[in-house]
Chains A and B, each alone.
Chain A
Amino acid sequence: MSNPDYLLSMQGICKSFGAIQANNNVDLNLSEGDILGLLGENGAGKTTLMNILFGTYQADEGKIMIQGRQITIHSTADALGFGIGMVHQHFHLVHRHTVLENLLVGEPGRMGRLDFSGARRRLLEIGEQFGLTLNPDARVSELTIGEQQRLEIIKALFGDSKILILDEPTAVLTPNESTGLFEALRALAEGGLGIIFISHKLHEVRNVTNRVLVMRAGSVSALVEDTKEVTESDLARLMCGHELNPPKKNTSKLGDTFLSLSAIKTGGSTPQKLKGINLSVQGGEILGIAGVSGNGQKELADVIAGVLSHTEGTIEVKGEIISKASPRLMQKLKIGRIPEDRMTTGLVTSLPLYVSMVLPWIRRSIFSRFGILRKNEILSFTSKMIKRFTIQATGPEVKTGTLSGGNLQKVLLARELAFEPEVLLASQPTRGLDVAAAEFVHRQFLSLREKGAAIILISEDLEELFALSDRIVVMYEGRIAGETKINDASVEDIGLLMAGATFGA
């Protein structure tokens, strides 16, 4: 029976969508001061469970109790009223407004007037109590990603929440920002909150939580009462049902220089983000690009993809100087790209899957002739790719946006690898993916490398860079701050370069 001491108790939660049982008889208990890790692969039912708690979905069966009292949650407003706050993976902030104004969104106000002074006071209170400080008058667009997340947490705490849910909170953060977040969470727990930390990153769950609930295929597969007693590989086994199998890197033969940039600068009317980039990449190697986000990685990728034009310097592809780069020319030169933001710059979520699958290739003679689509070829190509990359989709006609994050990334991979690129440019290719999906992506990169292609891997995940790269360069403020062979590289050195140190200075 339920223990009235629990801050939150969910019992026997069941939820199905059509034939899919998303949650099957799930129990979850949370006490004051708890940081409960909710661990599971994509599609294990974590998000569904939290959406039920937050009032986005309604459970088919089961009950929810807060401090021993049974409640029903019909809407997000109900959930907030019961003291449940949620920080979503994707932020819901109004960029043009200030911190204070964002906090007042949805607040009732006093007699129709926004209570600015009250909000300012509460913001200070939260700052003093938990060490979460922000300038109330800064515009959201001026905040870093880490600060934006802090604002989301403050927003969740604003209405006196007792329970805080964080959905994959580190997916968008750099290592340092993550450390800062963990400190804040510990302070919140000490202040008596109950925190649910959703993640599939094992070391983070190990690091920050004191209990772990592991879910697999909609059910609870394990409940760890003391996180310190388990290892990361224990957690991995509980989560996936099998041992982890990180891909092995074989030696590969270096080939010709496929792509080289020298003294590339951008600017003109826009702020200068690239201030003289020199780099080159050979066939058969993976060049890792490390750096804190916003140091020009996105612009570098855009220049190589032909989306952004450079104002100075030269780009050479296989020894030939490219005078006017364009996305179509770069495609012709067999430079593939996996963009950072798959939903907005990669795929067309509102249209059928086959549209996203052939988007860059639609003018190829297999997919169209004389401007007329060859629909059968497009559909059979899409079906073939679905099979080859084990994409979980009911067919080529299904709406792209209904696929999960990992499967969307597989669609992008399938699309870019289909016509054997010589250079693959991948930005944050495993961000937000679960372990199995990330391993799949890594394996594809390594096999492409063995086939002799060059890969440029832009990532903020140092573990990933160290596992895959042959060389690592670090970007800092629009320049290459340093370069090392993987065998000579240390995390400490890379970390220093990311923070702006220079060797020999």
Chain B
Amino acid sequence: MAFRLELREKTPIWFNIVLPLSAVMATLLLCSGLVALAGANVFHAYSELFLSAVSSRFNLVETFVKAAPLIFTGLAVAVAFRAKFWNIGAEGQLLAGAMAAAYIGGIESLPSFSLVPLMIIASALAGAGWAMLPAILRTRFKVDDVVTTLLLNFVMFYVMTALLDGPWKDPLSGYPDSPDIRMDAEFPILLHATRLHLGVLLSLLAAPMVWWFIRRTTLGFSISVVGENPSASAYAGISITRILIYTALISGSLAGLAGAGEVGGLHFQVMSGISPGYGYTGIVIAMLARLNPIGVVLAALFFAVVVTGAEAMSRATGVPVYLADVIQGTALVTMLIAQLFTTYRIRTLTTQG
């Protein structure tokens, strides 16, 4: 017996659901060895991991709150990767957005009602602006976008820490954090006694909008086409430069919005730890979702559940919280393998005779 991969003509629609699910199942199976190694009952640990995140209203809301920035960065990466604009820079664009939001939210002279909308717009513009740089470098000078987007993350991070250590340091606390934004700049809370803020709602609205944008607009159409075959696009009269710039603008603004949510809805200031790598996790999420915007929401929620649940699991069973990281990493690998089946089918070879 031997196996062989054969090309598929068409990918069945139910694959979009079954594949990620089997990838998650395989992930849990693979990680169960580690759980057992940590001396815990596998079923007990997993039930803590998953049930705690949904067991109370508070935990459920927290899961959504944790998912919000991941949804935004996941969408940012999904849009960019469709055009094969390799935006590894959602992290830096998020920081740019967060700083823009915190800056606007601290301006005393602005009228109260304008604060929240302006913060949202400013964060999107800041993210877009920071993503423009690598896009221009790539389209005008053919500089590799993987390298530039990645390195610009560090540039933005150190610009931020320099500001926080210097001119932007909160004079009241003396910590390397920015001053708090105005009270009336804080994002409205949608559910009493929780942290369910406006940014969470925006992230959930953004996903179907991005889906519609990719599927139903000429720009979205052009983004997919340029990503899949740039030279056919050029011959068909589509300007690749323009499409890549637009892609960078959209991708960057989505990543910037992640920053607005974190500042306006959770922290009310910028500090150096404002993003524990949301921009990078967004890449994993976008891949897990196969660049599908709705899939991004599900993948982000899965990651949020794992992160929220890991603490409860750790308390109850003694399995270290780092299992959450292992699960996230393994999920990427299993999903990449599962993706193989969307383009190929497995054939069993029997011996002739």
Specify the chain B residue showing the minimal Cβ separation from A332.
B237
User: Shortest CB–CB separation between residue B215 and chain A, in angstroms?
Assistant: 8
Residue pair A351, B235 in contact (C-beta under 8 Å): no
Specify the chain A residue showing the minimal Cβ separation from B350.
A58
Known: A74-B349, A337-B235, A399-B10. A348 touches B229 (CB 8 A): yes
Instruction: Pick the contact of A344: B10, B215, B216, B231 (CB < 8 A).
Output: B231
Instruction: Pick the contact of A58: B4, B216, B231, B234 (CB < 8 A).
Output: B4
Q: Does residue B93 face the partner (Cβ distance < 8 Å to A)?
A: no
18 additional A-B pairs beyond A339-B235, A362-B222, beta carbons within 8 Å, are A58-B4, A59-B352, A63-B353, A72-B353, A74-B349, A307-B235, A345-B232, A349-B229, A351-B224, A355-B221, A359-B233, A362-B221, A373-B215, A373-B218, A375-B216, A397-B10, A402-B9, A402-B10
Chain A residues with CB below 8 A from B349, complex form: 58, 74
Chain A residues with CB below 8 A from B237, complex form: 326-328, 331, 360
Residue pair B231, A398 in contact (C-beta under 8 Å): no
Measured in the bound complex, the distance between the Cα atoms of B238 and A334 in whole Å is 16
Chain B residues with CB below 8 A from A339, complex form: 235
Q: Does residue B217 face the partner (Cβ distance < 8 Å to A)?
A: yes
Measured in the bound complex, the distance between the Cα atoms of B349 and A242 in whole Å is 38
Specify the chain B residue showing the minimal Cβ separation from A342.
B232
Specify the chain A residue showing the minimal Cβ separation from B235.
A345
Q: Does residue A154 face the partner (Cβ distance < 8 Å to B)?
A: no
Interface residues of A in 343-389 (CB under 8 A from B): 344-351, 355-356, 359-360, 362-363, 368, 371-373, 375
Residue pair B221, A372 in contact (C-beta under 8 Å): no
Residue pair A344, B352 in contact (C-beta under 8 Å): no
Instruction: Pick the contact of B229: A328, A337, A344, A397 (CB < 8 A).
Output: A344
Specify the chain B residue showing the minimal Cβ separation from A346.
B232
The 9 A-B pairs of least Cβ separation, nearest first, read: A328-B237, A327-B237, A360-B236, A359-B236, A348-B229, A368-B218, A58-B349, A402-B9, A350-B228
Measured in the bound complex, the distance between the Cα atoms of B237 and A359 in whole Å is 9
Q: Write 15 A-B pairs (CB below 8 A) sorted by A numbering.
A: A58-B4, A59-B352, A63-B352, A72-B353, A326-B237, A327-B235, A337-B235, A351-B224, A355-B221, A355-B224, A355-B225, A360-B235, A371-B217, A373-B218, A375-B216
User: Shortest CB–CB separation between residue B247 and chain A, in angstroms?
Assistant: 15
Chain B residues with CB below 8 A from A359, complex form: 225, 232-233, 236, 238
Instruction: Pick the contact of B2: A74, A348, A351 (CB < 8 A).
Output: A74
Q: Does residue B142 face the partner (Cβ distance < 8 Å to A)?
A: no
Measured in the bound complex, the distance between the Cα atoms of B238 and A59 in whole Å is 44
Measured in the bound complex, the distance between the Cα atoms of B234 and A326 in whole Å is 10
Chain A residues with CB below 8 A from B350, complex form: 58
Q: Of residues B215, B216, B221, B238, which shows the largest number of chain A Cβ atoms within 10 Å of its Cβ?
A: B221
Chain B residues with CB below 8 A from A363, complex form: 218
Chain B residues with CB below 8 A from A59, complex form: 352
Instruction: Give the secondary structure class of A's interface.
Output: mixed
- Interface residue tally on A, bucketed by range: 35 or more
Chain B residues with CB below 8 A from A305, complex form: 235
User: Shortest CB–CB separation between residue A360 and chain B, in angstroms?
Assistant: 4
Chain A residues with CB below 8 A from B352, complex form: 58-59, 62-64, 72
Measured in the bound complex, the distance between the Cα atoms of B225 and A298 in whole Å is 23
Specify the chain B residue showing the minimal Cβ separation from A329.
B237
Q: Does residue B347 face the partner (Cβ distance < 8 Å to A)?
A: yes
Known: A326-B237, A351-B224, A399-B9. A373 touches B232 (CB 8 A): no
Q: Of residues A350, A359, A362, A368, which shows the largest number of chain B Cβ atoms within 10 Å of its Cβ?
A: A359
Digit string of A305-342 for contact with B (CB within 8 Å is 1, else 0)? 10100000000000000000011100100000101000
Q: Which residues on B are within 8 Å of A, measured CB to CB?
A: 2, 4, 7, 9-10, 215-219, 221-222, 224-225, 228-229, 231-238, 347, 349-353
Chain A residues with CB below 8 A from B10, complex form: 397-399, 402
Chain B residues with CB below 8 A from A360, complex form: 235-237
Specify the chain B residue showing the minimal Cβ separation from A71.
B352
Specify the chain B residue showing the minimal Cβ separation from A347.
B232
Chain B residues with CB below 8 A from A345, complex form: 231-232, 235
Residue pair B216, A307 in contact (C-beta under 8 Å): no
Chain B residues with CB below 8 A from A347, complex form: 229, 232
Measured in the bound complex, the distance between the Cα atoms of B349 and A72 in whole Å is 11
User: Shortest CB–CB separation between residue A59 and chain B, in angstroms?
Assistant: 7
Chain A residues with CB below 8 A from B238, complex form: 359
User: Shortest CB–CB separation between residue B237 and chain A, in angstroms?
Assistant: 4
Specify the chain A residue showing the minimal Cβ separation from B349.
A58
Residue pair A348, B228 in contact (C-beta under 8 Å): yes
Specify the chain B residue showing the minimal Cβ separation from A72.
B352
Q: Of residues B215, B222, B234, B237, which shows the largest number of chain A Cβ atoms within 10 Å of its Cβ?
A: B237
Residue pair A371, B218 in contact (C-beta under 8 Å): yes
Interface residues of A in 55-69 (CB under 8 A from B): 58-59, 62-64
Known: A58-B347, A362-B218. A344 touches B232 (CB 8 A): yes
Known: A355-B221, A371-B217. A307 touches B234 (CB 8 A): yes
Measured in the bound complex, the distance between the Cα atoms of B207 and A115 in whole Å is 56
Measured in the bound complex, the distance between the Cα atoms of B240 and A22 in whole Å is 40
User: Shortest CB–CB separation between residue A300 and chain B, in angstroms?
Assistant: 15
User: Shortest CB–CB separation between residue B231 and chain A, in angstroms?
Assistant: 5
Specify the chain B residue showing the minimal Cβ separation from A337.
B235
Residue pair A346, B235 in contact (C-beta under 8 Å): yes
